[in-house]
């Protein structure tokens, strides 16, 4: 398994890097999972001498430029990174069995989902002394009470990324992208069904959690009416559409917009006044990981203040690592895009996994919207 | 004995995985990762709801339009290749094959670079526009309005352009194979006996190329019907085709049984298309004894 992993991982990351999640890849992953490939014996024998390798399954543009090389220099462990495009791809690849990953980066909701499905290993806190670097606000979270299965990596907020010269004032309401013809044909929405439905509910004055069933038809009508004004549903590459001039308002995560704002000062980001969705990406060890020792070492390394700061300066997502944040330049710490104001954050909520049925309802709603 | 290896290959890597997916289509989600095979037909019932039938119909329409455009563009080209001098013929065939040897993903991204608002087409148009504007100013009419780039990407037209571009070789090659076998003396006879070029085309070349047209159309229609990448990358808010729905059921909705049922309906549609082609080509020899 581990010998065949290298070239396969490279091909996957090339495709994923291009922003593609072809169904064939899902199949190859799941079929690999059908065979009893992830050998737990590897893990059991590891405690003494584990081979110096680690398979890291991460999002695109989501690690420091030299982090993996630095980790190798520090520990001798070679990290083999493959990329996934979204949580669903990650989940689909692991659901029939771990094809050999040691560290994965699911978001809060999927952490809850994977814990429920028994797909994550408990993390041995004694091997993660750097956990003390974490801001106390992130040390205990409701999607993983007591942080048994997950370690905080980044957190992120959805909002509107926009091109200042093409927009009147600051588009500080979801109205501009969900319920208005003002910027017809210049809008790109994130194609994640649950996120769309929740943000629409938020715009209509509800919480992003426990959305009442009677509100869903209203959300559906609103999105169907808005659809002619929407240029594209994007696959978390809204920042590129914005940068290329393909769209002037995009629903995106703050860190993605912060990355392109470095290249184009005409871009900006706002969290609409109605409030938004927060996400937290976490480092987890899936059940059946072939190198759990190395996985703990790697997670501890990433939570180190210096290593964390190096990562943050590349990816520009807000870090929950207080020690790393303290090492960052003022420009990052005081950026209103990376760290939205406390007032803006007070209006934001975390989404929650509310069961497979609710997810399916949201998915069907968006399928109907797109087919209408 | 010689059949052993291919049969083994077919069974292990094609029939067995397909059988697993087929079995899933009669199952139900049991918790987040388990599928219990209950023998239910519920997934198929759901797949035949108007919402999904409409998406199937739309996919079939886009695939049919793609096939038609490929035929209209590919036929004259195939004829030109057939009658070209031998040395030119090789080059013309290479022109068809060259993109075919390039990765689909790379070609699709190249098309994005061509069609997007700051892409090659719009940059060319903008250049012409500003030249026109300068000319009009020079003639004393004042400058033209500001150039507005065309929205060529993220709509159904872009999907059809992408599909035609990708599938053209599938149409041209069978057409060329059919036309190349064509007996030239029949054309000379037709022209000698007073039929014009249009009549020769319509009543001699097209009927003789019919087997090529049929197999080319099938080879274009089937992959276009299941197209996934093209609508995903080039399409707009309403460009979803059935393969995109299937992908979302497997991934975002985490509903493998329903995704499996949709996949198999697509596969049955493909089998029907192939059966119809077999029927049509089986009947022809009787019509023209």
Q: Say if residue A144 is in the same domain as residue A40.
A: yes
Q: Which CATH number covers residue A347?
A: 3.40.190.10
pLDDT of A5 > 90? The answer is: no
Alpha-carbon span B128 to B122, nearest angstrom: 10
Residue with tokens 């978001």, as numbered in its chain: A107
Residue B247 lies in a domain: yes
Whether residues A195 and A270 share a domain: the answer is yes
Dist CA B212 CA B178 (whole Å): 5
Whether B14 is in a domain gets the answer: no
Q: Do A370 and B237 touch (CB under 8 A)?
A: yes
In a domain, B101, yes or no: yes
When pLDDT is cut at 50, 70 and 90, the band that residue B188 belongs to is confident
Residue B276: predicted pLDDT = 86
Q: How many domains does chain B have?
A: 2
Residue of B nearest to A360 (CA): B253
**Are B146 and B158 found together in one domain?**
no
Say if the Cβ atoms of A95 and B33 lie within 8 Å: yes
Residues of B in Cβ contact (< 8 Å) with A113: 32
Identify the pLDDT of residue A95: 87
* Interface residue ranges in chain A relative to chain B, Cβ cutoff 8 Å: 15, 18, 20-23, 26-27, 31, 34, 86, 88-89, 91-92, 95-96, 113, 116-117, 119, 185, 189, 192-193, 227, 230-233, 235, 244-246, 356, 359-360, 363-364, 367-368, 370-372
Shared-domain flag, residues B126 and B226? no
User: Shortest CB distance from A233 goes to which of B31, B237, B254?
Assistant: B237
Write out the two tokens for A123. 């993390």
Q: How far apart are CA B204 and CA B182, in angstroms?
A: 10
For residue A222, what are the domain limits? 156-278+340-371
In a shared domain, residues B133 and B242: no
- Whether B15 is covered by a domain: the verdict is no
Lowest mean pLDDT among A122-136, B58-72, B128-142, B162-176: B128-142
B136 and B262 housed in the same domain: no
The burial of A185, by beta-carbon neighbours within 10 Å (0-12 exposed, 13-18 middle, 19 or more buried), is given as middle
- Find chain A residues with C-beta within 8 A of B232's C-beta: 20, 235
Considering only CB atoms, A360 lies closest to which of B32, B154, B255, namely B255
- Is residue B130 domain-shared with residue B189, that is, in the same domain? no
The pLDDT tens digits for B54-82 are 999 999 999 999 999 999 999 999 999 99
Residues in A closer than 8 angstroms to B243, CB to CB, are 23
Q: Are residues B218 and B108 in the same domain?
A: yes
pLDDT score of B288 more than 80:
no
The average pLDDT across A194-211 equals 94
| Range in B78-82, B179-183, B222-226 the model is least confident about | B179-183
Q: How confident is the model at residue A184 (pLDDT cuts 50, 70, 90)?
A: very high
- Which residues in chain A are closer than 8 Å to B248, comparing Cβ atoms? 363, 367
Q: How large a percentage of chain A has pLDDT more than 90? A: 70
- Exposed, middle or buried by CB within 10 Å (0-12, 13-18, 19+), for A351? buried
A354 and A242 belong to one structural domain: yes
Provide the domain count of chain A.
Answer: 2
Same domain, A161 and A273: yes
> What is the pLDDT confidence band of residue A356, given thresholds at 50, 70 and 90?
confident
- Mutation pick from B14, B150, B254 vs chain A, by most beta carbons of A within 10 Å, is B254
Residue B108 sits in the same domain as residue B124 = no
Cβ contacts of A367 on chain B, cutoff 8 Å: 51, 240, 245, 248
Minimal CA separation from B259 to chain A, in Å? 11
Q: Using the beta-carbon criterion (under 8 Å), do B151 and A26 form an inter-chain contact?
A: no
Partners of residue A34 in chain B, C-beta under 8 Å: 20
Question: What is the reported pLDDT for B65?
Answer: 97
Do A10 and A146 share a structural domain? yes
Could you tell me if A21 and A86 are in contact, meaning their C-beta atoms sit under 8 angstroms apart?
yes
Q: Do B135 and B254 belong to one domain? A: no
Q: Which residue of A has its CA nearest to B52?
A: A371
The answer to the question of residue B248 being in a domain is yes
Q: Calculate Rg over the CA atoms of chain A.
A: 20
Distance separating alpha carbons of residues B149 and B162, to the nearest angstrom? 20
Which structural domain range is residue B85 located in? 44-112+154-287
**Best B17, B104, B154 residue to mutate vs chain A (most A CBs within 10 Å):** B154
Q: Is the pLDDT of residue A61 over 90?
A: no
Q: Within this chain, do residues A240 and A272 fall inside the same structural domain, yes or no?
A: yes
Same domain, B143 and B193: no
Q: Using CA coordinates, name the residue in chain B closest to A91.
A: B251
Between A12 and A342, the higher pLDDT residue: A342
Look at B252 and A368 and tell me if their CB atoms are within 8 Å.
no
A103-104 vs A230-234, strand pairing mode: unpaired
Asked if the model's pLDDT at residue B227 lies above 70, the reply is yes
Instruction: Based on the fold, state whether residues A308 and A204 are members of the same structural domain.
Output: no
* Burial of B195 per CB tally in 10 Å (0-12, 13-18, 19+): middle
Whether A175 and A295 map to the same domain: the answer is no
Predicted confidence (pLDDT) per residue in B111-152, tens digit: 999 998 888 999 999 999 989 888 888 888 888 888 888 888
B273 and B174 housed in the same domain: yes
pLDDT band at A26, cuts 50/70/90?
A: very low
pLDDT, tens only, A31-42: 333 333 334 334
pLDDT at B286: 47
B171 and B211 fall within a common domain: yes
Instruction: Please report which confidence band the pLDDT of residue B285 belongs to, taking 50, 70 and 90 as the band edges.
Output: low
Kindly report the average pLDDT of chain B as a whole number.
Answer: 89
The distance of Cα B244 from the centroid of its chain, to the nearest Å, equals 15
Pick the more confident residue, B3 or B109: B109
pLDDT more than 70, % of chain A: 87
Contact list, A31 vs chain B (CB under 8 Å): 17
Rounded to an integer, the average pLDDT of A26-32 is: 36
Task: Tell me: pLDDT of A12 over 50.
Answer: no
Q: Which of A23, A35, A85, A244 to mutate to test the interface with B (most CBs of B within 10 A)?
A: A23
Token duo for residue B23: 């079995």
How far, in Å, CA of A156 to CA of A259, rounded? 13
Specify the pLDDT at position B289: 38
Residue B18 is assigned to a structural domain of this protein: no
Residues in CB range of B171: below 8 A, 6 or more apart: B67, B70, B71, B73, B74, B216, B217, B219, B220
The percentage of residues in chain B with a pLDDT greater than 70, rounded to a whole number, is 97
Q: A313 and A191, same structural domain?
A: no
Query: Does some domain include residue B20?
Result: no
Please tell me the distance from the alpha carbon of residue A230 to that of residue B154, in angstroms, as a whole number. 10
The verdict on A28 and A130 lying in the same domain is yes
B19 is a domain residue: no
Asked if residue A6 and residue A142 are part of one domain, the reply reads: yes
pLDDT at B251: 85
Model pLDDT, residue A192 = 87
What CATH number should be reported for the domain holding residue B84? Answer: 1.10.3720.10
Reported ipTM: 0.80
Residue with structure tokens 């392109």? A260
Query: For B233, which residue in chain A has the nearest alpha carbon?
Result: A20
Residue that terminates a domain, selected from B100, B133, B151: B151
Q: Are residues A98 and A202 in the same domain?
A: no
Report percent pLDDT > 90 for chain B: 54
Picking from B272, B247, B227, B204, the residue whose alpha carbon sits closest to that of residue B67 is B227
Mean pLDDT of A273-282: 94
Distance from CA of A12 to the nearest CA of B (A): 13
pLDDT at position A27 over 70 = no
Q: Is A312 left (phi over 0), alpha (psi -120 to 50) or beta?
A: alpha
Task: Give pLDDT, residue A32.
Answer: 38
Regarding whether B248 and B142 lie in a shared domain, the answer is: no
């Amino acid at each position: 398994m581990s010998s065949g992993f290298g070239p396969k991982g490279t091909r996957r990351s090339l495709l994923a890097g291009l922003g593609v999640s072809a169904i064939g890849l899902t199949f190859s992953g799941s079929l690999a999972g059908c065979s009893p490939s992830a050998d737990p014996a590897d893990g059991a024998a590891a405690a003494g001498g584990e081979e110096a390798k680690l398979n890291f399954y991460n999002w695109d543009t989501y690690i420091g430029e030299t982090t993996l090389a630095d980790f190798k220099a520090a520990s001798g462990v070679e990290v083999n990174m493959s990329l996934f495009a979204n949580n669903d791809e990650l989940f689909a690849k692991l659901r029939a069995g771990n094809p050999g990953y040691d560290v994965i980066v699911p978001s809060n909701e999927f952490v809850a989902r994977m814990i429920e499905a028994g797909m994550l290993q408990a993390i041995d806190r004694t091997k993660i002394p750097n956990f003390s670097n974490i801001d106390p606000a992130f040390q205990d979270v409701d999607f993983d009470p007591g942080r048994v299965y997950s370690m905080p990596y980044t957190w992120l907020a959805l909002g509107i990324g926009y091109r200042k010269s093409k927009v009147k004032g600051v588009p500080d309401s979801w109205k501009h992208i969900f319920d208005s013809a003002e910027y017809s044909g210049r809008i790109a929405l994130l194609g994640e069904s649950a996120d769309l439905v929740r943000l629409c509910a938020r715009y209509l004055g509800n919480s992003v959690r426990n959305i009442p069933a009677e509100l869903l038809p209203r959300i559906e009508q609103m999105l169907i009416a808005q659809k002619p004004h929407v240029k594209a549903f994007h696959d978390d590459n809204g920042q590129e559409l914005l940068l290329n001039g393909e769209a002037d308002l995009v629903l995106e995560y703050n860190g993605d917009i912060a990355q392109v704002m470095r290249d184009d000062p005409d871009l900006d980001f706002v969290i609409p006044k109605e409030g938004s969705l927060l996400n937290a990406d976490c480092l987890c060890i899936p059940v059946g990981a072939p190198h759990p020792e190395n996985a703990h070492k790697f997670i501890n390394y990433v939570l180190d203040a210096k290593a964390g700061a190096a990562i943050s300066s590349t990816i520009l997502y807000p870090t929950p690592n207080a020690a790393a944040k303290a090492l960052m330049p003022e420009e990052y710490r005081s950026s209103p895009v990376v760290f939205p104001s406390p007032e803006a954050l007070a209006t934001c909520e975390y989404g929650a996994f509310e069961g497979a049925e609710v997810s399916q309802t949201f998915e069907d709603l968006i399928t109907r919207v797109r087919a209408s | 004995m010689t059949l052993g290896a291919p049969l083994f290959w077919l069974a292990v890597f094609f029939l067995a995985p397909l059988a697993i997916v087929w079995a899933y289509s009669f199952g139900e989600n049991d918790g987040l990762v388990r599928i219990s095979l209950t023998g239910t037909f519920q997934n198929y019932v759901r797949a035949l709801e108007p919402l999904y039938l409409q998406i199937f119909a739309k996919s079939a329409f886009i695939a049919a339009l793609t096939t038609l455009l490929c035929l209209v563009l590919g036929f004259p080209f195939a004829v030109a290749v057939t009658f070209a001098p031998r040395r030119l013929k090789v080059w013309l065939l290479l022109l068809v094959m060259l993109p075919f040897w390039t990765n689909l993903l790379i070609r699709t991204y190249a098309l994005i670079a061509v069609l997007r608002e700051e892409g090659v087409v719009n940059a060319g148009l903008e250049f012409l526009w500003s030249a026109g504007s300068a000319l009009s100013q020079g003639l004393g009419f004042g400058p033209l309005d500001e150039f507005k780039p065309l929205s060529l990407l993220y709509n159904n037209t872009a999907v059809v352009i992408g599909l035609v571009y990708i599938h053209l070789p599938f149409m041209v090659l069978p057409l060329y194979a059919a036309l190349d076998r064509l007996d030239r003396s029949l054309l000379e006879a037709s022209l000698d006996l007073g039929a014009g070029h249009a009549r020769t085309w319509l009543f001699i070349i097209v009927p003789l190329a019919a087997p090529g047209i049929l197999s080319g159309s099938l080879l274009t229609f089937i992959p276009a019907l299941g197209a996934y990448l093209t609508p995903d990358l080039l399409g707009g808010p309403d460009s979803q085709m059935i393969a995109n729905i299937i992908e979302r059921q497997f991934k975002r909705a985490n509903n493998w049984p329903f995704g499996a049922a949709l996949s198999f309906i697509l596969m049955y549609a493909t089998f029907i298309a192939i059966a119809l082609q077999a029927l049509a080509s089986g009947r022809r020899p009787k019509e023209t004894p």
